[in-house]
Structure 1
C-alpha cells in the first residue's frame, strides 16, 4: 500500500475512534443510518435480480 493511502487510512481510523469515544450516541446513530442504507441497497439489488429471473 502506498504511504499516502496508509496515512489516510490511519487518519480515518483515528477520527472514527475519536467520534465514538467523544459522542457514542451520535456515532451509533450515524452507524445505524449507514447500515440501513447498505442493507436497503443489498435488498434492492436482490429484488432486481429476482425480477430479472422471473421474467
Structure 2
C-alpha cells in the first residue's frame, strides 16, 4: 500500500475515533471495555491452556 494512502487512512480513522468519543463517550467507553474484556479473556485462556500442559 502506498505511504500516502496509509497516512490518509490513519488520519481518517483517528478523526473518526475522536468524533466517536466526543459525540458519545458512554458508547466509546463501552466499546473499549468490551475490547479489554476480550483481550483479558484471551490471555486467561492461554494461561489456562499452558497450565494444563504442565499437569
Aligned length: 54
Give the distance between the partners of 1:37 and 1:45, measured in 2 at CA.
12
TM-score by length of 1: 0.82
Give the distance between the partners of 1:5 and 1:14, measured in 2 at CA.
14
How far the C-alpha of 1:7 sits from its partner, in A, is 1.7
Aligned-pair RMSD on alpha carbons? 1.5
CA shift in 2, pair 1:48/1:18, >3 Å? same
Q: Report the counterpart of residue 50 of structure 1 in structure 2.
A: 51
